[in-house]
Amino acid sequence: MKDNQQCEKMIDTYLMLDKHERIPLAVCVHLLTCKKCRTQVRMMTQAEEKLSSPLAIQLPFSDLKLCSIMQSVDPGFDIKSICPVSMRKWVITGIFMIIGIIIFEILDYLLPGAAILSASIHIVFGISIVLYCTIFIASNLEFFVKLMQTSAKPADKKQN
């Protein structure tokens, strides 16, 4: 009976501690000598770690389920207004720009006398590449924000 009261007292003392607070010596000694309390503390620690980690349940959503959810939330939702995000146009445009740069570099090599034409072509291609990248990032900004958020490492938590 006395051991049970001491175990309850030590567990209560342990539970009153803040997270990452130093465990008092009396509680440490008790946990080292009492298998029951040590098991309880270990199980509570594992449960706390599980509860503090993000929930990772994969939900098998199909497009039809998502559309029906959106229609129940917003009756004016039109399925036809959703245009799928396609990278095909961006890739094709990028390939044409690379081919154009290669062709104009070959022409610059074959016609060395046209220095003014070469400089103006390089300026036009430079401006078009900057515009291409700017429009690409602006139109896909949501993707890049999500990418930055998922790849950013969380700041180290301050431990007491």
Give the tokens for residue 14: 């342990």
Quote the CA–CA distance of 135 and 128 in Å, as a whole number.
10
User: Residues 59, 64, 69, 75: what is their CA dihedral angle, to the nearest 10 degrees?
Assistant: 170
Q: Write the pLDDT tens digit of every residue in 66-109.
A: 777 777 888 777 766 666 667 788 888 889 888 988 887 787 77
The residue assigned the tokens 């900057």 is 130
Q: What are the residue boundaries of the structural domains of the chain, listed by start? A: 2-52, 83-151
pTM over 0.85: no
Answer yes or no: is pLDDT of 126 > 70. Answer: yes
Quote the CA–CA distance of 116 and 119 in Å, as a whole number.
5
Instruction: Report residue 127's pLDDT band, with 50, 70 and 90 as the boundaries.
Output: very high
Determine the distance from the C-alpha atom of residue 135 to the mean position of all C-alpha atoms in its chain, rounded to a whole number.
Answer: 23
Quote the CA–CA distance of 106 and 158 in Å, as a whole number.
59
Half-sphere exposure of 54 (CA within 13 A, CB side): 2
Question: Average pLDDT over the chain, rounded to whole?
Answer: 79
Give the residue, 3 or 4, on which the prediction is more confident: 4
